[in-house]
Chain A
Amino acid sequence: MTVEAMVPRMTEICGPGGVVTDPAELRTYECDGLTSHRARPALVVLPETAEQVAAVVTECARAGVPFVARGSGTGLSGGALPHADGVLIVTSRMRRIIAIDPASQRAIVEPGVTNLSVSTAARPYGFFYAPDPSSQVICSVGGNVAENSGGAHCLKNGFTVHHVTGLQIVTPAGELTWLGDGTGSAPGYDLVGAFTGSEGTLGIATKIVVRLTRIPQVITTLLAGFRSTGAGGAAVSAIIGAGILPAAIEMMDALAIEAAEAAVACNYPAGAGAVLVVELDGPEADVRRDVAAVRELCEQAGATEIRAADDPAERAAIWAGRKSAFAAVGRISSAYIVQDGVVPRTALGEVLDKIAALSSESGIRVANVFHAGDGNLHPLVLYNDAAPGEAEAAEQLSGDILDLCIQHGGSITGEHGVGTDKARYMPKMFSADDLDTMQLLRCAFDPAGLCNPGKIFPTPRLCGEVPGPHRGVHPVVAAGLAEQF
């Protein structure tokens, strides 16, 4: 069946206002936050309930039409890139917060609910939702589940997968089912954990049970300026080595600081080669002691200036530079690639030096903004898209950085996902057997391969027939290994 022929049935399911067929309107869905990959979907549907999602997927499964789920479309790996001959299922109209249960430290939300609004709803009870990707004002919890999103504070609090305890999903066959029971210890395989971070390839989450976290007594944010990223890195190692676990440790290099300064006048220490933002939260006495220790360790590492803030407005001022960094780079470069790679924290200094060397060899500028506490680099590779060959050179450099991450025992993605963008790098990090084994899970959930096809894995696995269990004569006997009396 062609997608066009499905329109009447889809209109029946989602209502006339829930189906998009106009080519111009379809084009607005042709990419997510990674704009370098584009495909116009054949059809977009905007269901409002889990039952509607199930009905849409059932139609797709019956017709053999591929489908892709999309939340707010803020992903940075092309995970929600539509299929040109498929249906794009947009969950942005499913935005009810169904329940807040502070006594169980749980909330139940629909997938289109924005990340930040969960925390907003929990705040009156003294709780918040811990994962905080930088797009949290707009990104959806459903998208966070697909990508296993992190954020600056996952150093202490963990990722989305540590805060999801139950999922209602629509399977790729169109069945509505619950994974887990919300407790975090349901009997059976941990399908909630396996589904989270599967980048939309195992089904579509339609209700999400999240864990809520107690708002800390106090939060203190420190800003420290250093002459170089090397000195800043030494401070990071010293903090971790002292047994301190900050909520976040972020670093920016000189070029990133320059861009942020130009964009938001964040007033970071003048002339710094690197700044560290260290946030400590928890009970007051413990935080006070840790702040003093972090100050001392930064001074020993050669900090040129240190500021501390407890007040929400002052803390926000410190964060302003860091949070604006990606967008700010747009002011000093006409085009740039946001890379996302991870190295062991102990390899940070060496890898930064090598990135600097790659940059000077190629003449392509790189601004570094990163989650230093967990070794998650976000090099921003700057280029002039009007200059012939520069885009290719930037792409090459960006890929070389991933090679560096792999060589140092790291990962090709810390939080943005593999999606469309990095599937080709997967064989550099994983063996054919690793990838084949991962895809067994795919085959269990989606043997027809219709659910967000073409993402994560460079080569799809044919699922084939599954042999049943052995029956009849005991195989030990059949093989002549033993006799039965």
Chain B
Amino acid sequence: MTAASVPGALTRACRTVRPAGPRDAVAGVVPSWVAVPSGPGEASALLAAATEHGLAVVPRGSGTRIGWGAPPRRCDLIIDMLRLNRVVEHEAGDLVARVQAGVTLPQLASRLSAAGQQLALDPPPGTAYGSDGRAPTIGGMLATGTSGPRRLRYGTPRDLLIGITVVRPNGIVAKSGGKVVKNVAGYDLGKLYSGSYGTLGLITEAVFRLHPVPAAAVFVTAGFADTAAASQAVAAAAGSDLVPVAVEIDRPGRDGLVRVAVLLEGDPDGVAGRAAQMRGVLGAGTATSDSAPPWWGSARPARLVTGPHGPAEPTVLRVSFWAAALPGVLAVIDTAGQDAGLDPAVGGSAAVGVLHVVLDGDADPAAAAKFVAGLRDGLGQDLDAGFAGGEGPPARASAVVLAAPAAVRDGVDMWGPVPALSLMRAVKEQFDPGCLMAPGRFAGGL
């Protein structure tokens, strides 16, 4: 197809529409056009027009995670949300903020900090290859459901989201929730749209519960010679009554040191006292600091853009598991790595059962595929034989490939097995009957 001229139906719906270029590609799929709506009205008209003409649409914020997920089967139109960038409402006394989807996290943070408040989510910035330094938007964070180390205390985006406005593919604008923290009226569509990768419609506005900015924060760090000792330290920290806000681990390679860091927040005197106690919990060789260790947040940009050992785009997986399985999961990663001839870097929020596994950008695609398959196979084995007499969930761990270079992406199932896929398919068919919203980008080919 040649670069098509911009269709009139789109320009009638939205004043700013331009032909797309290679930099607009979504996981390798180059769209035809990029539209930049100036507000929710244009966003709604745009989706209605796109659907009327059968155009496949992918919403985009800053693009820091635009390459995540499987390549869409089709992508005709990118809807760039960066002009929906207003903090619509911040009622400090209610600890609530209403924001448009294109607001960036630092933009919101600077607005809230004046009142000593924060949206207590810390997804790493700019994790997509080539988007270095750009800040994620509210809409992108919600759509990918990403969170950072502090999810141990504050939860993930869906936990702090109290209201959402979306545009359905037919242009209909719908909201659920509201702007009060406590509210059980109607279905909570915010949960459904959180982490839906743009496959159900366009998120245009969100309302969040806020938290006060703590007076003090201290990091307690320790290094361990092996994963068993590190796992014990993680469990001890998470099980303590010292209220850790985050418990992270970092292991650059199979045979290296395993680092553990615990974040404590609160009153300065209280935090100092708890930090001293936490050093006792973690054992020998600990240190405290007011600033995060350089490896904090396993998916931090420098590492992902350059890769741990080289400049090429790495493969990044998110492994989720029941926290008690940490040593077993690390062993599975090691075995899969050895079998594939790879030595991945591992790090993440160990206490909540989330690790990021990073493969070198120059890793052989066949080896990467072998690693992913081996990892999923290992996680599928019962890591805790006899748990709950077999009455628990059939799978209690998963490995999702978040991002990968094209050669690796082509050879792996990015999402792996998904529980309740037939219900998810039914949800997709109801919300996007024409299958035009980011088709194929999501789990199970949705």
Contacts and interface: CB of A to CB of B under 8 A. Distances in A.
Interface of A: 98-99, 101-106, 108, 126, 147-148, 150, 154, 158-159, 161-162, 166, 168, 171, 177-191, 193-194, 196-198, 207, 209, 214-217, 237, 240-241, 243-245, 282-283, 285-286, 289-290, 342-346, 371, 374-376, 409-418, 422, 426, 429-431, 433-438, 440-445, 456, 463, 466-470, 474-476, 478-479, 481-485
A414 B400 CA distance: 36
Query: 6 shortest A-B CB distances, which residue pairs?
Result: A475-B54, A193-B191, A243-B212, A469-B435, A103-B324, A437-B174
B385 interface: no
A189 B196 contact: yes
B182 A344 contact: no
B423 A445 contact: yes
B9 A245 contact: no
A485 B2 CA distance: 7
14 contacts: A104-B325, A168-B393, A189-B424, A216-B241, A216-B243, A344-B94, A410-B180, A414-B184, A429-B186, A434-B186, A440-B427, A441-B189, A481-B4, A482-B32
B222 interface: no
Given A181-B397, A245-B211, A237 B418 contact: no
A310 B131 CA distance: 52
B185 A438 contact: no
A484 B1 CA distance: 5
Given A345-B94, A484-B1, A166 B393 contact: yes
Interface residues of B, number: 109
A346 B94 CA distance: 6
Contacts of A282: 243, 266
B429 interface: yes
Contact of A209 (B116, B238, B239, B393): B393
Contacts of A417: 184
A193 B267 contact: no
A410 B444 contact: no
Contacts of A456: 186-187
A197 B353 contact: no
Contacts of A241: 92-93
Contact of B398 (A183, A285, A426, A431): A183
A120 B176 CA distance: 35
B130 interface: no
Interface of B: 1-2, 4, 7, 9, 32, 53-55, 74, 76, 91-96, 116, 145, 155-156, 158-159, 166, 168, 172-176, 178-189, 191-192, 194-196, 200, 211-213, 215, 235, 238-243, 266-267, 269-270, 273-274, 318, 320-325, 352-354, 387-389, 391-398, 400, 415-416, 418-424, 426-427, 429-431, 433-436, 439, 442-444
Nearest to A162: B159
Contacts of B243: 214, 216, 282-283, 286
A147 B184 contact: yes
Given A183-B398, A438-B176, A481-B4, A188 B418 contact: yes
Given A104-B323, A214-B241, A418-B185, A441 B180 contact: no
B189 A426 contact: no
A188 B187 CA distance: 18
A408 B158 CA distance: 25
Nearest to A148: B184
A183 B184 contact: no
The CB with the most chain A CB atoms within 10 A, among B93, B191, B393, is that of: B393
A193 B188 CA distance: 8
B435 A285 contact: no
B20 to A, nearest CB: 13
A188 B443 contact: yes
Nearest to A405: B180
A430 B165 CA distance: 12
Given A177-B419, A434-B186, 18 more contacts: A105-B238, A182-B392, A193-B191, A197-B187, A209-B392, A241-B93, A283-B241, A283-B270, A285-B270, A286-B243, A342-B180, A409-B179, A411-B180, A413-B185, A415-B182, A430-B186, A431-B174, A466-B433
B423 A177 contact: yes
Contacts of B76: 476
A437 B324 CA distance: 39
Nearest to B93: A346
B322 A104 contact: yes
B180 A343 contact: yes
Contacts of B92: 241
B174 A433 contact: yes
The CB with the most chain A CB atoms within 10 A, among B181, B182, B191, B242, is that of: B182
Contacts of B416: 187
B55 to A, nearest CB: 6
B321 A194 contact: no
A180 B178 contact: no
B397 A183 contact: yes
A189 B267 contact: no
Given A181-B398, A413-B184, A414-B182, A466 B423 contact: no
A484 B32 CA distance: 12
B235 to A, nearest CB: 6
B180 A180 contact: no
B393 A178 contact: yes
A194 B190 CA distance: 8
The CB with the most chain B CB atoms within 10 A, among A179, A286, A442, is that of: A286
A444 B213 CA distance: 41
A214 B172 CA distance: 44
Contact of A197 (B32, B188, B195, B436): B188
Nearest to A125: B239
